[in-house]
A and B are shown apart, each in its own frame.
Chain A
């Protein structure tokens, strides 16, 4: 056409990288603007790395108990040894108060236990498959115990137990949310796609489930699990229970987005182009759904983690010998034990950090998925 057309019509001059940036790239650019969300992403990835490689990362075997080291307090790391960088901790010894006969741990300044990276220590089988005995960090002399986070009532290293606990707690988050997602997509998708009576029925079921108070229902379901079952079966059942209640929120999101996208003009245009229904759903509608679903899923994981922690804490979730943060916190339930060893609360800090990081991440994903919402 004539050049005047181009003159009048040139919209805002978009640089080529932005103009050819796909929606996925734009999503990433929008996400990176939220600094807290990026921090959340980094922390989450770090936590999952720790959970995956728990065996070499934990300095000790989490089940190694020692009657002499019951409720050993945490040992502080001293970084400089006579001016050079050689981190060490001071070994503690038991000292009895002559009057009250109460035993307390005091640090012994003459016994230094040096720490190192990639040291040889307790044997393990990575994922039950690969034997090894090197740990990311730990005492240079493997026979010396080091308790950076203290020890519990059986003398077991809290740091190692917390690292192993990450595996159970975080994986329940992922598995649970996968189940919820499947249920949510199926029901939400069916509800949004068919509409009419089916939609009405599914909506009423969802409302019913949402209106039930979750924790009493969980208690009832979890208490119904036979105690005889193996930890693995219990694990899966707990995951299933938690995800059964949580899928409703995902189903609502899926249905809501589905309905919103379906009424978009470009979907009608695709139908007029001659696209088949599956093609419309998978190539035209699904990409829009994906970013919202990712955001909702990420925000659902912390709820699962909190739920498992609560149930295990009460004794009806994962139970010893299984190690999860909730099960670890059960030890802290008795106030007298807690008074003696406040470091028993540290798994709670781990829970809080995980949930916080996931919430920041999920919030950032949600903002990036729908920039017009705010």
Chain B
């Protein structure tokens, strides 16, 4: 088992290096750079632009060096924990992304748990009571979940908040806790606000998981070993849980590999709509302003999250399925 994990970890390293290179290419893709962007904004608002200042800024930020040199400096810094400097915020990137990434992780993981908690029992019910009213209802509702974009739900929620409750339902913290240091009160405040984006994100994810669980379980329900269990005289619910549901759990758990990336990525747009202090809004601004180190750090960490998600999913699957372990 340990050998399995080590093998996978080793295999991930070239992968992450490739990802970091892709990320760097992406953030350097837009024409121009932060300085030209800054200059364009200045002239748009009517101020004069001092060429000498621009040249000096470029020099200072190291934007004159060739592409590969810039990449090398960046990745070397990252490996030492230095994510670079944010031009726009005038702060080291590390201090900016820390809390935001943490909140993104909390949001995504809680949405994942919510998704599983919803999709598992509903998928099981839908498969066992196939073609019943409950099944059709569930199918319809889960289709609905697939069709309505998450950010739209967010908008509807904001609208309801403003018109019905007269308050802003967005954000993850009440104003008094927004920039406060961590305390129990802050954690509780977070929980109170977290459930809205968690539910919205979770509904999207659970739709497809319900259908996957349903399809897998239906396949297993017709397998001969279920008949064998019945022939032993086991109670129906016991044998359903112990055998086909347990076997169908394996492909269900392996979906972690792509559900977590989807949730992380979905949270980006939702955060922008609901104004959550997570990675999304800051990443978006950084991309538009070409604040390359900030954008690059966010992108890299988000990609790393998804790669870790795939690794976790493989490990979980190996734990659950002896056929993979014993090979």
- A joins B in a complex: yes
Give the distance to chain B from A333, nearest Cβ to Cβ, in Å: 7
Is there an interface contact between A348 and B162, defined as CB atoms closer than 8 Å? Answer: no
B148: which of A215, A310, A352 is its contact (CB, 8 Å)? A352
Is there an interface contact between B299 and A335, defined as CB atoms closer than 8 Å? Answer: no
B146: which of A348, A351, A359 is its contact (CB, 8 Å)? A359
Interface flags for B198-228 (1: CB within 8 Å of A; 0: not) read 0000000000000000010011000000000
Docked complex: B4-40 residues within 8 A CB-CB of A: 15, 18-19, 22, 26-27, 29-31
Which A residue sits closest to B169, measured CB to CB? Answer: A335
Is there an interface contact between A348 and B149, defined as CB atoms closer than 8 Å? Answer: yes
The 14 sampled A-B contact pairs (Cβ below 8 Å) are A208-B18, A211-B15, A212-B303, A212-B306, A213-B305, A216-B299, A217-B299, A224-B31, A226-B30, A302-B146, A335-B168, A352-B149, A356-B147, A374-B218
Is there an interface contact between B264 and A345, defined as CB atoms closer than 8 Å? Answer: no
Is there an interface contact between A211 and B148, defined as CB atoms closer than 8 Å? Answer: no
Alpha-carbon separation in the docked complex, A335 to B168 (Å): 9
Known contacts A345-B159, A348-B155; A216 and B298 CB within 8 A of each other? yes
Which A residue sits closest to B288, measured CB to CB? Answer: A223
Known contacts A220-B26, A224-B29, A338-B155; A355 and B261 CB within 8 A of each other? no
Alpha-carbon separation in the docked complex, A346 to B155 (Å): 12
Is there an interface contact between B147 and A226, defined as CB atoms closer than 8 Å? Answer: no
Q: A250 contacts the other chain (Cβ, under 8 Å)? A: no
Is there an interface contact between B26 and A335, defined as CB atoms closer than 8 Å? Answer: no
Give the distance to chain A from B15, nearest Cβ to Cβ, in Å: 7
Is there an interface contact between A219 and B284, defined as CB atoms closer than 8 Å? Answer: yes
Is there an interface contact between A223 and B30, defined as CB atoms closer than 8 Å? Answer: yes
Which B residue sits closest to A339, measured CB to CB? Answer: B162
Q: B294 contacts the other chain (Cβ, under 8 Å)? A: no
Is there an interface contact between B147 and A359, defined as CB atoms closer than 8 Å? Answer: yes
* Residues in B whose Cβ lies below 8 Å from that of A298: none
Q: B151 contacts the other chain (Cβ, under 8 Å)? A: yes
User: Using a CB–CB distance below 8 Å, which chain A residues touch chain B?
Assistant: 208, 210-217, 219-221, 223-226, 302, 306, 309-310, 313-314, 316, 329, 332-333, 335-336, 338-339, 342, 345, 348, 351-353, 355-356, 359-360, 373-374
Interface-facing stretch out of B88-96, B109-117, B248-256, B266-274:
B266-274
Is there an interface contact between B29 and A220, defined as CB atoms closer than 8 Å? Answer: yes
Is there an interface contact between A213 and B306, defined as CB atoms closer than 8 Å? Answer: yes
Is there an interface contact between A210 and B258, defined as CB atoms closer than 8 Å? Answer: yes
Is there an interface contact between A211 and B152, defined as CB atoms closer than 8 Å? Answer: no
Is there an interface contact between A208 and B269, defined as CB atoms closer than 8 Å? Answer: no
Interface flags for B154-174 (1: CB within 8 Å of A; 0: not) read 011011001100001000000
Is there an interface contact between A351 and B149, defined as CB atoms closer than 8 Å? Answer: yes
* Residues in B whose Cβ lies below 8 Å from that of A336: 162
A221: which of B29, B264, B265, B273 is its contact (CB, 8 Å)? B29
Q: B316 contacts the other chain (Cβ, under 8 Å)? A: no
Is there an interface contact between B265 and A213, defined as CB atoms closer than 8 Å? Answer: yes
Alpha-carbon separation in the docked complex, A216 to B104 (Å): 13
Known contacts A214-B265, A345-B156, A351-B152; A208 and B15 CB within 8 A of each other? yes
* Residues in A whose Cβ lies below 8 Å from that of B106: none
Which B residue sits closest to A326, measured CB to CB? Answer: B149
Known contacts A208-B18, A213-B302, A213-B303; A332 and B30 CB within 8 A of each other? no
* Residues in B whose Cβ lies below 8 Å from that of A374: 215, 218-219
B287: which of A210, A211, A223, A348 is its contact (CB, 8 Å)? A223
* Residues in A whose Cβ lies below 8 Å from that of B148: 348, 351-352, 355
Q: B310 contacts the other chain (Cβ, under 8 Å)? A: yes
Closest 7 A-B residue pairs measured CB to CB? A213-B265, A355-B147, A215-B265, A224-B29, A224-B30, A356-B147, A223-B287
Q: B243 contacts the other chain (Cβ, under 8 Å)? A: no
Known contacts A211-B306, A216-B268, A309-B149; A338 and B299 CB within 8 A of each other? no
Is there an interface contact between B22 and A348, defined as CB atoms closer than 8 Å? Answer: no
Which B residue sits closest to A351, measured CB to CB? Answer: B149
Q: B195 contacts the other chain (Cβ, under 8 Å)? A: no
Alpha-carbon separation in the docked complex, A143 to B168 (Å): 41
Is there an interface contact between A220 and B287, defined as CB atoms closer than 8 Å? Answer: yes
Which B residue sits closest to A336, measured CB to CB? Answer: B162
Is there an interface contact between B307 and A348, defined as CB atoms closer than 8 Å? Answer: no
A338: which of B147, B158, B268 is its contact (CB, 8 Å)? B158
Alpha-carbon separation in the docked complex, A208 to B26 (Å): 15
